[in-house]
A and B are shown apart, each in its own frame.
Chain A
Amino acid sequence: MDISSNQKDALTELINIGVGHAASTLNFLIDHKIRLTVPEIEIKSLQELKGAPPVEAESSSVSMNFHGDFSGNTSLTFPLESARTLVAVLTGEAADSAELDDLRSGTLAEVGNILLNGVMGSLSNMLAASLDYSVPTYQEGYLNNLLGYQQAEAVLMARAIFYIDELCISGNIILFFELESFHALLKAIDEEVTA
C-alpha cells in the first residue's frame, strides 16, 4: 500500500490529536495522570497484518464499525495481560481476579471507546466527514481470530502507549478501511495539506 511520507506524517498527527483529546477525557475520569502517545503508524494489507500480528498472545479488543463518507472498522487491542494491568491501575482493583472479568470488559470498553472516539473524531473533523458508528463491542481472543471478521483492504495500524504514573502500557489502534475509503481518506488529507 503506497503512501507518501507527507500523508503518513499527516495521519500520524491526526491520530495524535485524537489520542490527546482522549487522554484529557480519561484524565477527567481517573485520579491518575495519563499520557497517551502514538509514536508511529504503519499501513498494511489485512493479509500482511494476519501474517505478522502485532501480538500473538491472547488479546482484548474494543471495536466499532463506521460508515458514511468513508467506511471501515476501528479497534483498540491490548495483550490480555496488559489490558488487565491497565484496568487494575485505573480502578485500583486486583489484576488477577477472574471474577472481575465482567466489569473489566466494561471498563476496557469505555477506555477503548474514549480512545477510538478521539481518533475517529479527529479524523472526521479534519476531513469534515459525516460518519455513523456501531455500538462498541468488546472481545477477547487471539488477535488473528478477532481480526477474522474484517473485510478490509487497507489497514492503518498505530501503536498507542499509555503512560500511567510509572507504568507504560502499549496497545494498538487498528483502523480497517475499504480500499476506496482509504483512498478517499488520503485524498482528503492531500487536499487539507495543500490547503
Chain B
Amino acid sequence: MSERNPSLTDQNLTDQSLAGQFPLLDHIASGILAIDRDANIVLWNNNMEQWSAQPRQQVLGKSLFELFPRTAEDMFKVRIDEVLRGGAPIIFSAQLHHHLIPCLQANGEFRAQLVTVTWLNDHQIALFSIQDQSEQLRLIEQYKTSAQALKIELDQRQKLEQKNLQLATAINQAGEAIIITDQQGYLEYTNKAFMQQTGWSEDEIKKLSRYDALFDKNDIHLESQFNVLFNSGETWTGRKEIMRKDGSHFTSSISIAPIFGEDGKLTHHIVIQEDISQQLNMEEKFRHTQKQEALVTLIGGIAHDFNNLLAGLIGQVYLASREVADMPKTAERMKKIQAASQDASEIVKQLLTFARQGEHHAKEFSLKSFINEFVKLARHNVPESIHFSSTFESSNMNFRGDADQLQQSLLNIVQNAVEACAGIDEPHIEVNLSSFDGNSHNDLLKKYPVLRHGNFSHIEIRDNGNGIAEHLLDRIFDPFFSTKQLGSGLGLAMVMGCVRHHNGIIDVESNLTRGSCFHLFLPILGSNTAASAINSHATTRSANILLVDDDERVLEPTKELLECMGHHVTLACDGRVACDIFKQQVDHWDLLISDIVMPHMDGLAASKEMRLLRPDLPVIYATGYDQSLVTGDVRKMGNTILISKPFNPDKLDELINKMLK
C-alpha cells in the first residue's frame, strides 16, 4: 500500500484554502463534496449549498455520517469506508438508491442522485461527485405513467375489438337473416343467413338496391309504406313474401328497427328476417290434420248410425216386398227402395272406410302380385283410347293389409285419372310400383320425415290429363268435395282413409297442364315374413289333416274350411277314436288339429300317444277357453301351436303353412 498523507482537517486546512485549490468546483453543474479520512466534510461546493440549502459554513468540518445519517447506513458506509482506505472508486446509482445526500426540491421530493466517490490520494480526501438525475427520473415516471395509461387503453381497445369481433361473428352466423340498411333503406350489410335464404352472393348483394326491392312486387302500397317507415324512425314488424334470386318466394317474419347515431339522428335500420315458410307449412299441415280428424270422427259417427238404420230399413223393405208380392206397382217401388238402400249402404261403406271404421280384413300378400292383378282389373275400366302402362320392381314387397280395400282405393284413383284424361291428346295413365328410395326423393323425405324410418313401397299412379288447381289440392281428400257435377266426393276420401288405415302416406302432385301423380307409400314387411296370402294358396301343399273335436258344430265347418284351403281332412270325435285312426297309417298324417278337452281321451293324451309313434308330428291345439288357462305342458311341447276357437280362417291358414314347412 502507498503511504498516505495526513488528513486535511488535521492540517487545519480551511475550506477557503481547499476551495482555493479547486475554484472551478463552484462553477460546474454537479454537486461536489469531499471528506477527509475521518469522514469530516472538507469541501462543499455552490451546487451543494443550493441543493441542500445548507451553506458550507454549516457543514464544513462536520462528520458526513453524523450530518447525513443515511450515509451511515451499512449499504453506504461499508463502501465509503473502503474508498477512505484508498480503495477503488464507488458508484451509487439513482435507480438503486435514489439519493445519498438528502436535498429537498421545491416539489417536496428529494433530488435523485448518481454519486461517484473517488479517493484522491494526493489530497487524502474522498471526493463525492453528485449528478442530479431528478429530471431523468421525473421523465421516466412520466413515461411510466403514460406507458401504463397506454397499456390500459390498448387493453381496453383490444377487449373492445374482441367484443366487436365476437358480435360481428355472432351476427354473421346467426340463424336469422340480419340486414343493415342506410337511412333510405339501401343495403349496407347482410349476413350469411341472408345469402342462404335468398340465394344471392356477397358481390351480387352489393348491386341490390333498397331492402324493400326484395319484396313481392304484387304489393302496390309497399313502396310508399316503406318510404314512410324508413324516414319515421319507428319499429315495424310483420310478414312479407321475400323473393329469392331465382324468383321463387318464401314467407318471412320481419322486424325493422331504427339505429340512431350519438347525436340522436337516424342513421341506419337493422332488419331481422326469419324464413317461416316451414313453420307455416307445419301449421297448415297441423290444421289440416285436425280438420281431417274432426271429419273422421263426425263422419264415422254418422255413418255408423246410418248403417244401423239402413240394416233395419233393408230388412223391413225385404219383408214388406214379400207382403206386397201381389201388388206389382208397390212391389216395383219396393224394389227401387231396395236398390236405393243398397246404393246408400255402398256410400256408407265408403264413409266408414274414410273413417277407418269399416270392415278391415288384413292379411299378408305380395304387393307385386297384387299390383299385377290390379293392373289387369283396372285395364277393363280404362277406355282403349287411353294408353295404360305399368312397371314393377322385381322384389315381392310383402304387405299386410286389406287387399279389397286397397284395390278399391287404387281403382278410385285410376277412375279419376280416366276422367282427367277426357279431351286430352295422347292420354296415358301409368301405374308404377317400386320400393321407396329416399335418396332420389329428397323433397318427399323433407315433406314426410317418417319415410326415413322403415321400408316403404311406392305406388305411383300418373296421368297426363287435366291437373288439379293448386288451391284445391288441400281439399281433394275431404269427403263430399268434388269438382265433378255427379261426383259423390267420396272416392279420394275413401283412398285417404284406406291409406291411413294401413299406416301409409298419400301425396299428390299436380299441374293443370301436365296432369297429376298420386304417390302411395305403404309400409312393407321384412323380407323374412311369410309369403303373401294371394300367392300362398298356390304355394301351399295339400296336407293330410286329422281333425279331432267332440263338438260337431265345430267339426263340420272346420272341415269345410280346411278342404277349401286344399287339404284332405279326416274327422275324429274324441282322442280315443283319433288314436285308432292315426295308428292305421302312422306316416300318412301331416298334421293333427285337436280340441283339448274331450270325453274318453283328451287332446293332450291323444297327441302324446301319437307322438310315441311319430315324434315329429305337428300339432295344433284348438281351445274354446282362454288360452291363459291352458296348462304349461302344452306350451312346452315342440312343434306345437295353441289357437283359440273360433278360428280366424286367415290365421289358421297361415299357421298350417308355417307348420307344414
Contact = CB atoms under 8 A, between A and B. Distances in A.
A87 B93 CA distance: 12
Interface in B59-105: 74-75, 78-79, 82, 86-97
Interface stretch (A9-17, A131-139, A158-166): A131-139
Interface stretch (B133-141, B305-313, B502-510): B133-141
A94 B91 CA distance: 22
Contact of B89 (A25, A102, A104, A113): A113
Interface stretch (A38-46, A115-123, A175-183): A115-123
20 contacts: A28-B78, A68-B2, A87-B95, A99-B143, A100-B140, A102-B133, A102-B136, A103-B133, A106-B93, A107-B93, A110-B91, A117-B87, A117-B88, A121-B82, A121-B87, A130-B1, A132-B121, A133-B88, A133-B118, A135-B116
B95 A106 contact: yes
Contacts of B74: 28
A136 B89 CA distance: 7
A64 B88 contact: yes
B495 interface: no
A71 B484 CA distance: 129
B121 A28 contact: no
Nearest to A96: B147
Given A102-B133, A102-B136, A130 B96 contact: no
Given A106-B114, A135-B116, A94 B147 contact: yes
5 nearest CB pairs, A to B: A106-B93, A110-B93, A133-B88, A130-B2, A107-B95
Given A106-B93, A128-B1, A28 B75 contact: yes
A25 B93 contact: no
Nearest to A74: B88
Interface residues of B, number: 32
Interface string B125-165: 00001000100110110011001000000000000000000
Given A133-B88, A134-B89, 13 more contacts: A66-B88, A87-B95, A93-B95, A94-B144, A103-B93, A103-B94, A103-B137, A106-B114, A107-B95, A110-B96, A113-B88, A117-B82, A121-B88
A135 B89 contact: yes
Contacts of A68: 2
B89 A133 contact: yes
B96 A91 contact: yes
Contacts of B97: 29
Interface of B: 1-2, 74-75, 78-79, 82, 86-97, 114, 116, 118, 121, 129, 133, 136-137, 139-140, 143-144, 147
Contacts of B140: 97, 99-100, 103
Contacts of A97: 140, 143-144, 147
Interface string A129-163: 01111111000000000000000000000000000
A113 B91 contact: yes
A53 to B, nearest CB: 25
A90 interface: yes
Contacts of B96: 29-30, 90-91, 107, 110
Contacts of A107: 93, 95-96
Contacts of B137: 103
A35 B87 CA distance: 23
Contacts of A134: 89
Contacts of B89: 64, 113, 133-136
Nearest to A116: B88
Nearest to A87: B95
A109 interface: yes
A94 B148 CA distance: 11
Contacts of B133: 102-103, 106
- Of the candidates B1, B74, B144, B147, the one having the most CB atoms from chain A within 10 angstroms of its own CB is B1
A163 to B, nearest CB: 19
